[in-house]
Structure 1
Amino acid sequence: MRRPGPAYLDFMASTPVDPSVIDAMTDAMSHDWGNPHSDHAHGLQASKIVERSREALAALLGAGEDEILFTSGATEANNLAIKGVMSSAERRGNHLVVSSIEHKCVLEAARSLVKTGIEVTEVKPGADGRVRAEAIAQALRPDTALVSVMHANNETGVIQPVREIAEICHRQGVLFHTDAAQTVGKIDVDFNHTGADLLSFSGHKFYGPKGIGGLVVSRAARLRLVPQLDGGGQQPLGRSGTVPVPLCAGLAAAARLYERHGQSARTHIQSLQRLLEDRVTRKGCPFTINPHAERIPGCTSLRAEGVNAEDILLHARGELSASTGSACNSGSIEPSYVLLAQGLSFDEASSSVRIGIGRTTSEADIDRAVSALLAAHEKAYRAAA
């Protein structure tokens, strides 16, 4: 029998795969194992699973089925959106605008283009973690081809004004991309309402499998998106590679799960988030909540008093699984670049812990996490004295 592990409060990094998702994937692996691009009975059967997945994702996102492009995850989707537009002969110019709090895959994709002659402007957020639409407007130039601003930040949970930013971009003929990895399957996301031309998402952020995500591509953006993988062009828009049927089946199951339980899950998560925040910030407790605008449910950035966040998590490791920020940077000793961009000091950013609450979190998990955080802070504080 597996021993119960630490309380898991890192749902911004990844989520457990729901049993219904596992069932859908297992069934597809057992019965629909043909190549979905083959024109025979087994291939056509597998192709039906892929198309049903497109239908489920289109319904979840308010998009057309022909606008859904499957990728290996949000990292590939973000790279395709940024590099695909900026390498197009049809692009408006050589200028790219991103926010300075984007996920590393967006920032590094943008920075990699500098050596090809692309100019990149990084726009900082306000002190509350929100990127101002007027700051984006000021960054636009006659040669701006693309703007990329995430739907919600993966460290603070702050929701960005993407619709307002999209409208500003479109008035000047600029394409707009948003990384929605932290919002799809957590809050209602309608592709048309966001105003985005390109929208990225990832299955493992909403109880689906790792290894699959997607890029929603508007009909207006198609002519300005160049494929980044050479091969057989198996998918629309030329994305090459055999589509993984079991992962598509799992992704569709995760999408349907949100449609059935999304509202009740949000209510549950918000209730537990209030409980945790109230308890760790009571009078005499050594934590404060970092400044923030409106957030997605379940994401809390806590700042510890007088100690390093890495030390807290080290002392709490047996009781709590949480992080200091993006899982991509969890092995780094550098403070969060997101919090630094918001205006926090080096010490403040270094003492911040990200808590992520999800659909399967229980009140007992919160009790355990609060006790672990307080005990770990005391140990870390004494060790530093």
Structure 2
Amino acid sequence: MNRPLRILGIETSCDETAASVVLRETDGRGEILSDVVLSQLEEHSAYGGVVPEIAARAHVEALDTLIAEALARAQMSLSQVDAIAATSGPGLIGGLIVGLMTGKAMARAAGKPLYAINHLEGHALTARLTHGLAFPYLMLLVSGGHTQLVLVRGIGDYERWGTTIDDALGEAFDKTAKLLGLPYPGGPAVERAARSGNPERFTFPRPLVGEARLDFSFSGLKTAVRQAAQAIAPVGEQDIADICASFQHAVSRTLKDRIGRGLQRFRETYPDVGRPSLVVAGGVAANQALRVTLDSLCDKNGFDFVAPPLHLCTDNAAMIAWAGAERIAAGLPADDLSVSPRARWPLDGNAETLLGFGKRGAKA
């Protein structure tokens, strides 16, 4: 590109309503000019999880105001942005419709190109915004809806090496917290309780550890937690802390095995890359115990451990705007305004056949 790009990003895939303006310089450097995120934690906390209908209504009520705020903080008008990027999937379909339709309307009204962004691509490319990483690199995406190990080869060029065969890791954290009576969101609550717990008290399973494939499984671990709690019921405060610490320890050991094998595969695939990088993204990436495990693993294997700032690991619109800017810089075309939201949208198009299709699209 022969001039800087200014992109407006919109994110509404789950329970965060977000808008952002990002600048991409001609040399590839990026700068976040504004980043506005409205959390819906209070709306969903009473239910112990995200209620799709409530989330969609909250997006409708807040999105226009947030977009205006993002433009104001960036000190520019809609006419001054070069394009609009909106999350088109995967996610809760009601929320996706709100964000994508808003992006379409603004693009049509302002005569701007629209980029319908895969939410997972936003996570995959964030490290290029924050750390200027060169391709290729590995990404571990750990969130409430996804647990994947992805090879990032270039813009729009991704290969999924591992995925969860049942529950995502964030979901396992949330369900463990709910089972033990801890508040929502479950991930931070479990991490807090684990700090005063004994990680050796309970021996929980470490699913798929030792297997050559790089997939993940957390359903059995979640079941083991329930059985342990029932066996010692009623559970006291220390019991809860010990269960959380033992659960988190089992997760750490599982990731150490699964990701360790992924790092070895990367070395075999790209022997000429001197010091490669492992990027961690998603809400669970905020867990400090898991970060320590992954950081130590990377150091042992000669990898750089790259973790974007915590506010960019969770859902945000800056990563969506940046993904749009990257696609423009790579010469990829804008999307037609007939583009539809997708509740399911694998980042690796070749992975769609692995788990088949359902009413909402590919299950991969």
Q: Which is strand-richer, 1 or 2? A: 2
- Of structures 1 and 2, the larger Rg is shown by 1
TM-score, normalised on structure 2? Answer: 0.26
TM-score, normalised on structure 1? Answer: 0.25
